[in-house]
């Protein structure tokens, strides 16, 4: 690779540069003005208007490598994206000189019961991987949504329903295959390219385009799981009980807490349509009796709906009822070191029944347990040093509504700022943030050094970028 990228490059030259990609990989490249460009650039978060110099839809690792090589020769950079759930911070950084490499055509998921892993391609979403594992009576560490991309989720951490028992999903990766800056395809695991394997497990999409991932399956066939639901009028007692219980709860239970304002949408089930609710959902890796014991305090608050029961593990991929297929969304999030009574008061003021907020949800995910402990042999992000992560979000039907929802989500995180741990959980950060704030200062130099080694010319553009480290020690994108 001979082309050194010039960060001061005039973006108006990019349309001409992108012509170099026309007709590449069987024509699966779309340039501005092409009939397929608008559909190809549309991310899952449809509120985000990402306009790259070109969009490539490779069907194999070899095609990814071709796109990376030709983009480099044309003086363009490359942004990997599988679904666009976290397209906001990527688009905000500007894509004028960037080829968006969408891995959404690379979606296989194959379980290997002998090795105890599932192998997926770089654009696979969780649902097919959950199904592949379930066919062998196993489970994988998916999150709350069936159509989140495994690559982005796992490279950013990954908090799912078994997280307090089994940790971040990124710790369960056993190998990744990546097209790096020189266009070569490399494998990284505990013994091959271990530095890259360390950096990419939590370091995100700055190191190359991930074309395949392998991760552990667990012996989980059924789970005691479900949701408890109250009218929002009951927020205060329920939140006080949950917030006091959650940090001390044993590892086998993982829950999420939401104050929700649901619209009058016809595709919502009738019992949810137009309601303002408190919802606690979660899963217990234990017997039904153990589950009942752990939920006794919350059940004493007499939820109007209680669906906790023994269910097939594969059903958990829809437990949270996340929107599927794309939605316009605006949000903000923060990690919380603690959630004392004053935090409960602040949360109620922002999201309680007397608030005028339009946030669809004000959410708290229960951390702790294995999520809080270092994982032996883990990557740069093997634990989260917080008791909770909060996420406020809502539908951004128009840019104006999106701006209002974002401002309200920021108000929620600002109200909880006294309890903030000063760090970011990058998977939930849907706006540009300082990437460094996700890691300890001690690992940052190492992380930027590994970026420099695998991507010396700064080919890759990530939503939450890890910069290169120049020899003089000056970080650069």
Ligand X SMILES: Cc1cc2nc3c(=O)[nH]c(=O)nc-3n(C[C@H](O)[C@H](O)[C@H](O)COP(=O)(O)OP(=O)(O)OC[C@H]3O[C@@H](n4cnc5c(N)ncnc54)[C@H](O)[C@@H]3O)c2cc1C
Interface residue with ligand X among 103, 355, 387, 452 (CB under 6 A) is 103
Cβ proximity to ligand X: between 148 and 238 the closer is 148
**Per-residue x/- mask for ligand X, residues 129 to 148, rule CB under 6 A?**
--------------xxx--x
- As measured in angstroms, the least distance from the Cβ of 324 to ligand X is 8
395 contributes a contact to ligand X by CB under 6 A: no
Residue 217 near residue 131, CB atoms below 8 Å? no
Cβ proximity to ligand X: between 160 and 328 the closer is 160
Cβ proximity to ligand X: between 89 and 303 the closer is 89
* Token pair for 50: 């990402």
Interface residue with ligand X among 58, 75, 80, 282 (CB under 6 A) is 80
- As measured in angstroms, the least distance from the Cβ of 114 to ligand X is 26
Helix (H, G, I), strand (E, B) or coil at 458: coil
- As measured in angstroms, the least distance from the Cβ of 293 to ligand X is 26
- As measured in angstroms, the least distance from the Cβ of 151 to ligand X is 4
Query: Position of tokens 């667990």?
Result: 218
Number of residues that make up the chain: 477
Instruction: Restricting to residues 450-469, name those near ligand X by CB under 6 A.
Output: 462-463
Cβ proximity to ligand X: between 121 and 352 the closer is 121
Find the part of the chain contacting ligand X (CB under 6 A) among 80-88, 214-222, 311-319, 408-416. Answer: 80-88
Burial 58-96 (b: 16+ CB within 10 A, else e): bbebebbbbbbbbbbebbbbbbbbbbbbbbbbbbeeebb
- As measured in angstroms, the least distance from the Cβ of 204 to ligand X is 5
Cβ proximity to ligand X: between 93 and 290 the closer is 93
- Picking from 311, 109, 130, the residue whose alpha carbon sits closest to that of residue 217 is 130
HEC readout, 381-420: CCCCCCCEEEEEEEECCCHHHHHHHHHHHHHHHHHCHHHE
Rounded Cα distance, 379 and 329, in Å: 30
- As measured in angstroms, the least distance from the Cβ of 152 to ligand X is 2
Cβ proximity to ligand X: between 177 and 252 the closer is 177
- Picking from 28, 27, 12, the residue whose alpha carbon sits closest to that of residue 75 is 12
Cβ proximity to ligand X: between 154 and 452 the closer is 154
Cβ proximity to ligand X: between 152 and 183 the closer is 152
Residue 332 near residue 409, CB atoms below 8 Å? yes
344-349 contacts: CB < 8 A, separation 24 or more?
Answer: 344/236, 344/239, 344/240, 344/243, 346/415, 346/416, 346/418, 347/239, 347/259, 347/390, 347/412, 347/415, 347/416, 348/235, 348/236, 348/239, 349/415
Count of positions on this chain that bind ligand X (CB under 6 A): 34
- As measured in angstroms, the least distance from the Cβ of 354 to ligand X is 28
Residue 101 near residue 78, CB atoms below 8 Å? yes
Cβ proximity to ligand X: between 153 and 347 the closer is 153
Instruction: Restricting to residues 189-248, name those near ligand X by CB under 6 A.
Output: 204-205, 209-210
Instruction: Restricting to residues 312-371, name those near ligand X by CB under 6 A.
Output: 322
- As measured in angstroms, the least distance from the Cβ of 73 to ligand X is 21
CA angle (234 as vertex; 230, 236 as ends), nearest 5: 130
Helix (H, G, I), strand (E, B) or coil at 11: helix
**Rg of the chain's alpha carbons, rounded to an integer?**
22
- As measured in angstroms, the least distance from the Cβ of 302 to ligand X is 28
- As measured in angstroms, the least distance from the Cβ of 34 to ligand X is 21
Cβ proximity to ligand X: between 195 and 345 the closer is 195
Which residues 6+ apart lie within 8 Å of 33 measured at CB?
none
User: Cα–chain-centroid distance for residue 308?
Assistant: 26
Cβ proximity to ligand X: between 63 and 346 the closer is 63
Interface residue with ligand X among 14, 86, 333, 366 (CB under 6 A) is 86
Cβ proximity to ligand X: between 236 and 322 the closer is 322
Instruction: Restricting to residues 143-172, name those near ligand X by CB under 6 A.
Output: 143-145, 148-149, 151-153, 155-160
- As measured in angstroms, the least distance from the Cβ of 103 to ligand X is 4
- As measured in angstroms, the least distance from the Cβ of 465 to ligand X is 8
CA angle (337 as vertex; 279, 292 as ends), nearest 5: 40
Query: Position of tokens 């700064």?
Result: 458
Q: Which residues bind ligand X (CB under 6 A)?
A: 80-87, 90, 103, 122, 143-145, 148-149, 151-153, 155-160, 204-205, 209-210, 322, 427-428, 462-463
């Amino acid at each position: 690779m001979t082309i050194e990228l010039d960060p001061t490059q005039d973006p108006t030259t990019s349309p001409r540069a992108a012509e170099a990609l026309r007709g590449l990989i069987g024509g699966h490249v779309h340039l501005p003005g092409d009939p397929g460009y608008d559909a190809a650039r549309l991310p899952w978060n449809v509120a985000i208007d990402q306009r790259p110099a070109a969009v490539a839809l490779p069907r194999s690792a070899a095609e990814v490598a071709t796109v990376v090589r030709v983009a480099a020769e044309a003086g363009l950079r490359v942004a990997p994206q599988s679904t666009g759930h976290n397209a906001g911070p990527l688009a905000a950084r500007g894509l004028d000189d960037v080829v968006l490499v969408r891995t959404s055509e690379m979606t296989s998921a194959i379980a290997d019961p002998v090795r105890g892993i599932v192998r997926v391609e770089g654009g696979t979403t969780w649902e097919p991987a959950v199904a592949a594992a379930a066919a062998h009576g196993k489970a994988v560490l998916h999150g709350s949504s069936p159509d989140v991309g495994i690559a982005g989720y796992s490279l950013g951490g990954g908090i799912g329903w078994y997280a307090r028992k089994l940790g971040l999903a990124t710790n369960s990766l056993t190998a990744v295959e990546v097209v790096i800056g020189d266009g070569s395809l490399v494998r990284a695991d505990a013994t091959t390219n271990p530095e890259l394997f360390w950096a990419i497990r939590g370091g995100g999409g700055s190191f190359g385009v991930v074309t395949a991932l392998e991760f552990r399956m667990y012996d989980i066939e059924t789970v005691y799981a479900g949701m408890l639901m109250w009218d929002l009028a009951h927020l205060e007692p329920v939140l006080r009980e949950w917030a006091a219980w959650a940090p001390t709860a044993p590892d086998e239970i993982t829950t999420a807490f939401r104050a929700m304002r649901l619209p009058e949408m016809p595709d919502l089930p009738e019992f949810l349509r137009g309601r303002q609710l408190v919802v606690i959902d979660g899963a217990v890796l234990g017997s039904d009796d153990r589950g009942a014991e752990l939920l006794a305090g919350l059940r004493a608050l007499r939820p109007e709906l209680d669906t906790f029961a023994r269910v097939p593990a594969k059903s958990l991929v829809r437990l949270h009822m996340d929107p599927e297929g794309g939605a316009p969304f605006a949000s903000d999030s923060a990690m919380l070191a603690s959630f004392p009574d004053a935090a409960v008061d602040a949360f109620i003021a922002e999201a309680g029944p007397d608030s005028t907020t339009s946030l669809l949800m004000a959410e708290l995910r229960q951390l702790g347990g294995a999520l809080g402990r270092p994982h032996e042999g883990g990557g740069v992000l093997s634990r989260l040093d917080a008791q909770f992560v909060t996420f406020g979000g809502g539908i951004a039907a128009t840019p104006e509504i999106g701006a209002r929802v974002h401002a309200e989500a920021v108000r929620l995180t600002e109200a909880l700022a006294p309890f903030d741990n000063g760090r970011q959980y990058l998977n939930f950060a849907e706006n540009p943030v300082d990437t460094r704030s996700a890691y300890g200062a001690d690992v940052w130099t190492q992380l930027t050094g590994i970026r420099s080694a695998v991507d010396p010319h700064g080919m890759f553009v990530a939503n939450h970028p890890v910069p290169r480290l120049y020899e003089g020690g000056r970080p650069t994108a």
